[in-house]
């Protein structure tokens, strides 16, 4: 019987392809390959090939990414040569399985010489093109991948599609998405084709994965950029202050949560002539000329505050303080320069096993503090420093706002102890605690006469107490009287029988005042509203 790859593709049934895949891979389970392609290449180099996308990625496949050889069997004129020819496919397509049979390659050369043969480069180029076409076909055949600006009527259209292909591309992406991302890093020639295969979540997609094409199709008329942000997870990103203005204007923002995405987005700077903008970087462009003019006016009005703030934080890794265009409800946020590391990139680099942490700290980009001129905290701070630039409360607030912004923006504090000390100072001030008050020393000895063992009361219960018969506990004064005796006990307790709610603790002393103020402090303040946008 003729080998399957030598037959006309139109004459081979799906069942035959599946059977051939199982015999080729020695995988006789119930899973079918996600896709296959069968083609004959003609021209200067002639060969026949069948390629398969396995249903599952083997666990070690990505871990050994740089040492993996393509899982293709090479035949020359129907004679098996090797299944370890490294140059048949690039590393990012090493998950594919199949065979290649060439009539052009020489038989009488060593494997080393064969890998240097010019014909092999031509075969590799054609295999890449066919492989990417096969993956794109999985995407195109999946009804979940339909590109539509209007969701109305979409359900009915999907129902007419075959259910077998529904969700196939999501399966592929789950298994092999990292390989496609590596392709963008390694294969600049096919970068645009690979970008179409990328999937991600966004601020409008919910848990569904979408493509760049789907994103572009529903961009707002006044939107010039594709906005994205990187981080640990979507729950964290959707609450980020970096996105406040974008989400308020209902611009869709892409969420990239894979550590690999940081590297991918350094290579992928535009899509279909639309520039990509990182929402965590400086110079975020939102709105048109009117917005720019307003920002310039505000920057001039707040110039004294931003300069003062920069001087206050002179010891920090801070490049500048400026008026923000991205904030709506938050007073401050920290970003980095366009070419610098984002907060997420810093986290990724610090997590590397063999990276010298001291070198990472030197490579961190300078931060940029952005302030919200419409926020009441910023407005009050501006008024304070206009009266007295040396105001200690204002200086402490400026430092605390910067550190809070670092945390909210995803950065790690260099010295959390200093931040904690500032928080404690604010708590002391709100509780009217003396800033210089010291922690009391622990007593060396405890006066046993001061201890009252209330458990002794259990021993005084009558033996004849019957089950279900409840005897009320004695009043605290009676118990103290019984234990200590008479008037001394009442004085020790500080409780007046005629006025049981009165005690020495709840009197008019300092402790009572602190207690009252603490209760008042615990009541929620009315929310400070941000002024309407200018």
Q: Encode pLDDT of 410-420 as tens digits.
A: 998 989 999 99
Residue 520 region by backbone torsions, left for phi larger than 0, else alpha for psi between -120 and 50, else beta: alpha
Confidence band for 229, pLDDT divided at 50, 70 and 90: very high
pTM: 0.77
pLDDT value at residue 452: 54
Percent of the chain whose predicted confidence (pLDDT) is above 70: 77
pLDDT at residue number 215 = 97
Three-state SS across 448-501? Answer: HHHCCCCCHHHHCCCCCCCCCCCCCCCCHHHHHHHHHCHHHHHHHHCCECCECC
Q: How many other CB atoms sit within 10 Å of the CB of residue 492?
A: 15
**Mean pLDDT for all residues in the chain:** 83
Length of the chain: 534
From CA 423, how far away is CA 429, in angstroms rounded? Answer: 10
pLDDT score at 355 = 65
Please answer whether residues 263 and 184 qualify as being in contact, where contact means their C-beta atoms are separated by less than 8 angstroms: no
Between the CA of residue 508 and those of 428, 491, 512, what are the distances in Å?
21, 17, 6
Token duo for residue 259: 């550590």
* Spatial distance between the Cα atoms of 286 and 498, rounded to a whole number of angstroms: 70
Asked if 200 contacts 256 with a C-beta cutoff of 8 angstroms, the reply is: yes
Please name the residue ranges forming H helices in 32-167. 60-63, 111-115, 118-141, 154-159
Confidence of residue 28 (pLDDT cuts 50, 70, 90): confident
Q: Rounded distance, CA 182 to CA 91, Å?
A: 9
Q: Give the separation between CA 509 and CA 513, rounded to whole angstroms.
A: 7
User: Which residue would you say has higher pLDDT here, 336 or 85?
Assistant: 336
* Burial call 197-209: b when 16+ CB within 10 Å, e when fewer: bbbbbbbbbeeeb
Q: How confident is the model at residue 456 (pLDDT cuts 50, 70, 90)?
A: low
Fold of 145-149+163-278: Rossmann fold (3.40.50)
Please tell me the distance from the alpha carbon of residue 238 to that of residue 235, in angstroms, as a whole number.
Answer: 6
Section 234-256 average pLDDT: 96
DSSP E strand boundaries for 269-406: 270-271, 274-278, 318-323, 332-336, 367-371
Model confidence at 533: pLDDT above 50: no
Average pLDDT (95-113) is 88
pLDDT of residue 453: 57
The secondary structure of 60-100, three-state, reads HHHHCHHHCCCEEEEEECCEEEECCCHHHCCHHHCCCEEEE
Mean pLDDT computed over 491-511? 45
Of 68-77, 260-269, 357-366, the poorest mean pLDDT is in 357-366
Q: Which of 88-92, 95-99, 301-305, 514-518 has the lowest mean pLDDT?
A: 514-518
User: CA angle, 328 as apex, 323 and 332 as ends, to 5°?
Assistant: 50
Q: What average pLDDT score do residues 91-105 get?
A: 94
CATH superfamily of 289-430: Heat shock protein 90, C-terminal domain (1.20.120.790)
At 505 the pLDDT is: 39
Q: What confidence tens digit (pLDDT) does each residue in 273-293 have?
A: 999 999 999 999 997 777 788
Q: Which residues pair with 101 in a beta bridge?
A: 48, 75
User: What is the residue whose two structure tokens read 């969701």?
Assistant: 151
pLDDT at 86 over 90: no
Q: Which fold is adopted by the domain 4-141?
A: Ribosomal Protein S5; domain 2 (3.30.230)
DSSP-assigned states of every residue in 102-116: ESSS-SSS-HHHHHT
| Strands of 97-102's sheet in order across | 35-41, 47-53, 97-102, 71-76, 79-82
22 is in an annotated binding site: no
Tokens standing for residue 304: 């004294």
How far is the first Cα of the chain from the last one, in angstroms, to the nearest whole number? 79
Confidence of residue 447 (pLDDT cuts 50, 70, 90): low
Residue ranges of the domains in the chain?
Answer: 4-141, 145-149+163-278, 289-430
Is residue 49 within 8 Å of 101, Cβ to Cβ? yes
Dist. CA 70–CA 149, nearest whole Å? 40
Residues above pLDDT 90, as percent of the chain: 58
DSSP 429-453: HHTT--TTPPPPPPPSS--GGG---
pLDDT(173) > 80 = yes
Chain segment 373-383, per-residue pLDDT in tens:
999 999 999 99
Highest mean predicted confidence (pLDDT) among 218-222, 360-364, 376-380, 478-482:
376-380
């Amino acid at each position: 019987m003729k080998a399957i790859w030598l037959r006309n593709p139109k004459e081979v049934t799906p069942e035959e392809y599946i059977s051939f895949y199982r015999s080729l891979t020695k995988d006789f389970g119930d899973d079918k390959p996600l896709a296959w392609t069968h083609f004959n290449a003609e021209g200067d180099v002639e060969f026949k090939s069948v390629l398969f996308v396995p249903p599952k990625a083997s666990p070690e496949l990505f871990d050994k990414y740089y040492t993996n050889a393509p899982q293709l069997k090479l035949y020359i004129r129907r004679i098996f040569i090797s299944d370890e020819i490294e140059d048949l496919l690039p590393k990012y397509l090493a998950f594919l399985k199949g065979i290649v049979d060439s009539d052009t390659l020489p038989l009488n050369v060593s494997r080393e010489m064969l890998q240097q043969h010019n014909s092999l480069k031509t075969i590799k180029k054609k295999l890449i093109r066919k492989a990417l076409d096969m993956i794109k076909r999985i995407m195109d055949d999946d009804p979940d991948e339909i590109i539509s600006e209007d969701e109305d009527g979409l359900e009915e259209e999907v129902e007419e599609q075959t259910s077998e292909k529904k969700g196939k591309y999501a399966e592929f992406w789950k298994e092999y998405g990292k390989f496609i991302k590596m392709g963008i890093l390694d294969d600049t020639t096919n970068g645009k084709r690979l970008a179409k295969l990328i999937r991600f979540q966004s601020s409008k997609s919910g848990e569904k994965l979408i493509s760049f094409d789907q994103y572009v199709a529903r961009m707002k008329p006044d939107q010039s950029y594709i906005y994205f942000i990187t981080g640990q997870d979507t729950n964290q990103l959707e609450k980020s202050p970096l996105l406040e203005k974008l989400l308020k204007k209902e611009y869709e923002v892409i969420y990239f949560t894979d550590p690999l995405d940081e590297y991918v987005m350094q290579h992928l700077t535009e899509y279909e002539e639309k520039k990509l903008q990182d929402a965590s970087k400086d110079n975020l462009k939102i709105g048109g000329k009117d917005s720019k003019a307003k920002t310039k006016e505000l920057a001039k009005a707040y110039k004294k505050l931003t300069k003062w703030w920069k001087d206050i934080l002179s010891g920090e890794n801070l490049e500048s303080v400026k008026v923000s265009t991205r904030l709506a409800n938050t007073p401050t946020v920290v970003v980095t320069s366009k070419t610098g590391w984002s907060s997420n990139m810093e986290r990724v680099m610090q997590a590397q096993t063999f990276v010298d942490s001291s070198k990472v700290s030197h490579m961190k980009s300078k931060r940029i503090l952005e302030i919200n001129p419409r926020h009441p905290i910023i407005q009050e701070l501006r008024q304070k420093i206009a009266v007295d630039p040396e105001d200690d409360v204002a200086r402490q607030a400026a430092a605390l706002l910067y550190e809070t912004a670092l945390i909210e923006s995803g950065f790690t504090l260099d010295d959390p102890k200093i931040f904690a000390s500032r928080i404690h100072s604010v708590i002391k001030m709100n509780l009217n605690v003396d800033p210089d008050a010291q922690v009391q020393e622990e007593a060396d000895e405890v006066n046993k006469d001061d201890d009252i063992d209330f458990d002794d009361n259990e021993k005084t219960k009558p033996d004849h107490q019957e089950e279900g018969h409840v005897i009320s506990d004695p009043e605290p004064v009676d118990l103290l009287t019984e234990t200590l005796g008479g008037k001394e006990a009442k004085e020790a307790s500080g409780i007046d029988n005629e006025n049981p709610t009165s005690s020495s603790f709840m009197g008019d002393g300092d402790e009572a005042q602190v207690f009252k103020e603490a209760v008042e402090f615990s009541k929620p303040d009315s929310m400070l509203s941000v002024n309407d946008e200018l």
